[in-house]
Chains A and B, each alone.
Chain A
């Protein structure tokens, strides 16, 4: 632990700390352009100069390039250092255009700030300014190369950190140019971070161009809703709209960056078709009135059928407040449910939640320090995008990353892929688990796990069984292995087997971790707060049988449940009453008898539990209401003054549920935190809103390994001959519910197609360029094929586009007879 003096104050820092970071720990922010904690030091910009007055290194030094050492005496205020730093600014301003009034970076521009703080104001250079041609980089990022100060951050971030190769650095000397080989949309789904990382306005946010200065915005922290990772964002709202989002640092989750789905998924908040007025039987009414009517009608159904004739449904995008309230109301009223997760993956999530314990759980950032990672039945880039860069950092640190999944996996780094068919995934896991059991003198509990997989085929017949056995050796020899397990399309035994493997590895030696990938931002909460039965399927059957007559649906689109749309429509037609509370326009809101609009998580605080079991608070960013773009003619607040906010006559879903549950809106405020504690023991000690730590709190999960091995036995049906498994899978853009409504991301959503292994295609008589027709419950879907050798045999993979859901089979995993797949003719 070196001890040094910076500006006459002593500090002791860990070995390997850069002087620039040591100073920052003391609250001394040494200027920097090229240095970034996530990207490391390269010493290019030279603006972090300090003077080393004494010690092992002397003279003007770049504080990012030197490690803190014993006996160093560093001055950041030394006249020579200050003069040099000021001069660096002058150099960088030689060619920087004075277009700050029309630059979206203006006001939060590092170059602007340092120019002012450095005291540079008068231009002495009389030469011409260098100019560049800008490139079109797609719908998200705007390119303005004239502003560039050549700090190399963008290219280091893009190529080194996230592993994409289509943005680079060209030319030489003062002509250095950052861009693509040809103009075109950036390929990285993390490209938006260029906007955050650029210290000036070379890369700016295209969708929010010219929409306002930073200080015009209501800027608040928020938690991203577009997958289960719970990355941190900063929201900028103006004129009652969300305008822009940026990455917000999180030590435990996303570090400095977010994905483009998270950054640009927000427009659902601003959409004109967003429900903003309550409706009863198609007629607009006030919010309170609609709630009152809903309450009366529910009472009437209950009077006729008994309380069990009413069921309540939520979703994985509901905050804990809403999920908890659904449970409280259902319990109090004797209604059925709640069903809190209607996603087909709900059962897998439930297994995952029951198997995570405090010993095993790892955060997203901790994955970066793993040295051997097995990803099973998950597709990081598409299901939880920020997992991909985390895995890449692990790879850069030397980790082996292996994916066991039938899909054509793509990750921005070198990894091993076992394209195992869904039916063989359990066998593949069984190989790893058995190998562990063979090698280790297992205690009784290990034997339990091995017994539980006896029902699974021995795996000898799956492709590359030897490779998997060798993978076990790597796992065993690693220091910090992590098993990443998906839930979206995983066969039901996989999440449990992943936990078994992690636990067995712990017994075998390495400090194994477990990381589940889940579909929704609060899938975890839904699993925690609801019971396995009834499932949403059970509810639909009960509706079909006439046992359930009324449904209360909070922030949930039933048409994403994996149940065939025709069946669902028929069932809903049988309902006497459908009360829908939501902030998006969906088939479910459109079918509602009573529609109660609700506030988004941008407008009301909400608690969410991410996939790791971390409860986070997403405070309200602004107060909601009709966007001024709609009410004020576009560009300026109307000058008619009123006390209330137009279009804000709504509340959070949980407050509406409270009313539906019979509580008088005027009664004393409820203690939600206490109520959540009553709903589940793990939630008893949640901090109060004002005390919530920035990275949330990890739930206290049981550490009781003995009882935690999987005991269910899974029996596999005989493999059907001449059958193919059809997987309908997530993709980065276009699948996740809320971001699929984003106008910004539309351009990045590819047209639908189907992946098929070339050998399967050959057997079916298909070749590149063909389209196939697939018969399923949904009817016939015709899609072009994409011959993909890097995938499992016997599998068809359709990347799901939610806006085309009605044309696709609803099940995420279906077995199709080969006869159901045929080459589509011209007229099809």
Chain B
């Protein structure tokens, strides 16, 4: 269940909207931010807020790249595999990440911290090779830089997670 205040805020947004459906993506993103991904429960709650059948949101959620219908880690790493990043070493960086995290593309680390996904050109070709972690861009990447980023995120996670 969404916390009451989150739900209230989203409901207010919907009520203020001239066409509630135009907020479908925003509401799903917000609910996803809360749950980490769009579980069935999350999708159904979002549908109730938007005022449509869950199927209507499923039609959208399964279309877009940044709506996750399966569990993802706290940090979703989207590695750009489009042409410039690809020629600038995408494959070896990907392999580096996989090795470093001990997972394959599409998988999540057992500690629930990282998920590795590919993404199409993210518009950082001038800083290629690049990747996106929770919608923040990083590049140009080298294996050393990647290690550094992962360490920083691990530390951040350790700091903010109550033990």
A and B touch in the complex (CB under 8 A): yes
Residue positions of A touching B, CB distance < 8 A: 165-172, 177, 180-181
Q: Using a Cβ cutoff of 8 Å, how many contacts connect chains A and B?
A: 25
Known A181-B53, A181-B54; judge A168-B59 contact (CB<8 A): yes
Q: Are A181 and B63 in contact (CB under 8 A)?
A: no
Chain B residue contacts of A180, Cβ below 8 A: 55
Give the residues from 13 to 39 in chain B that come closer than 8 angstroms, CB to CB, to chain A.
none
Q: Are A168 and B56 in contact (CB under 8 A)?
A: yes
Give complex CA distance A166, B53 in Å.
8
Q: B58 on the interface (CB 8 Å rule)? A: yes
Chain A residue contacts of B58, Cβ below 8 A: 168, 170, 181
A-contact 0/1 string along B40-69, CB 8 Å cutoff: 000000000000011110110011000000
Whole-angstrom distance between the Cβ of B70 and the nearest chain A Cβ: 13
Give complex CA distance A172, B62 in Å.
7
Q: Are A165 and B55 in contact (CB under 8 A)?
A: yes
Give complex CA distance A166, B54 in Å.
9
Residue positions of B touching A, CB distance < 8 A: 53-56, 58-59, 62-63
Chain B residue contacts of A167, Cβ below 8 A: 55
Q: Are A172 and B55 in contact (CB under 8 A)?
A: no
Give complex CA distance A180, B59 in Å.
10
Q: Are A165 and B62 in contact (CB under 8 A)?
A: no
Q: Are A166 and B62 in contact (CB under 8 A)?
A: no
Q: Are A170 and B62 in contact (CB under 8 A)?
A: yes
Chain A residue contacts of B55, Cβ below 8 A: 165-168, 180-181
Chain A residue contacts of B63, Cβ below 8 A: 170-172
CB-based nearest A residue for B43: A181
Chain A residue contacts of B56, Cβ below 8 A: 165, 168
Chain B residue contacts of A168, Cβ below 8 A: 55-56, 58-59
Give complex CA distance A170, B60 in Å.
7
Give complex CA distance A165, B55 in Å.
8
Chain B residue contacts of A169, Cβ below 8 A: 59
Give complex CA distance A482, B96 in Å.
71
Please indicate which of the listed interface residues A166, A167, A170, A177 has the most CB atoms of chain B within 10 Å of its own CB. A170
Chain B residue contacts of A172, Cβ below 8 A: 62-63
Whole-angstrom distance between the Cβ of B20 and the nearest chain A Cβ: 15
Whole-angstrom distance between the Cβ of B67 and the nearest chain A Cβ: 11
Give complex CA distance A167, B55 in Å.
8
Give complex CA distance A171, B55 in Å.
12
CB-based nearest A residue for B64: A172
Whole-angstrom distance between the Cβ of B120 and the nearest chain A Cβ: 12
Whole-angstrom distance between the Cβ of A129 and the nearest chain B Cβ: 21
Give complex CA distance A244, B56 in Å.
33
Q: Are B62 and A171 in contact (CB under 8 A)?
A: yes
Give complex CA distance A170, B55 in Å.
9
Whole-angstrom distance between the Cβ of B34 and the nearest chain A Cβ: 21
CB-based nearest A residue for B61: A170
Chain B residue contacts of A166, Cβ below 8 A: 53, 55
Give complex CA distance A174, B46 in Å.
27
Whole-angstrom distance between the Cβ of B111 and the nearest chain A Cβ: 30
Give complex CA distance A170, B43 in Å.
14
CB-based nearest B residue for A180: B55
CB-based nearest B residue for A181: B55
Give complex CA distance A347, B84 in Å.
80
Give complex CA distance A172, B55 in Å.
15
**Extra A-B contacts (20), CB below 8 Å, given A167-B55, A168-B58:** A165-B53, A165-B55, A165-B56, A166-B53, A166-B55, A168-B55, A168-B56, A168-B59, A169-B59, A170-B58, A170-B59, A170-B62, A170-B63, A171-B62, A171-B63, A172-B63, A177-B62, A180-B55, A181-B55, A181-B58
Task: Sample 25 A-B pairs with CB under 8 A, ordered by A number.
Answer: A165-B53, A165-B55, A165-B56, A166-B53, A166-B55, A167-B55, A168-B55, A168-B56, A168-B58, A168-B59, A169-B59, A170-B58, A170-B59, A170-B62, A170-B63, A171-B62, A171-B63, A172-B62, A172-B63, A177-B62, A180-B55, A181-B53, A181-B54, A181-B55, A181-B58
Whole-angstrom distance between the Cβ of B47 and the nearest chain A Cβ: 9
Give complex CA distance A177, B62 in Å.
10
Whole-angstrom distance between the Cβ of A170 and the nearest chain B Cβ: 4
CB-based nearest A residue for B47: A181
CB-based nearest A residue for B60: A170
CB-based nearest B residue for A171: B62
Chain B residue contacts of A170, Cβ below 8 A: 58-59, 62-63
Chain A residue contacts of B53, Cβ below 8 A: 165-166, 181
Whole-angstrom distance between the Cβ of A181 and the nearest chain B Cβ: 4
Whole-angstrom distance between the Cβ of A417 and the nearest chain B Cβ: 20
Whole-angstrom distance between the Cβ of B127 and the nearest chain A Cβ: 28
Whole-angstrom distance between the Cβ of A176 and the nearest chain B Cβ: 9
CB-based nearest B residue for A165: B53
CB-based nearest B residue for A172: B63
Give complex CA distance A142, B5 in Å.
44
Whole-angstrom distance between the Cβ of B52 and the nearest chain A Cβ: 8
Give complex CA distance A180, B54 in Å.
10
Whole-angstrom distance between the Cβ of A108 and the nearest chain B Cβ: 30
CB-based nearest A residue for B44: A181
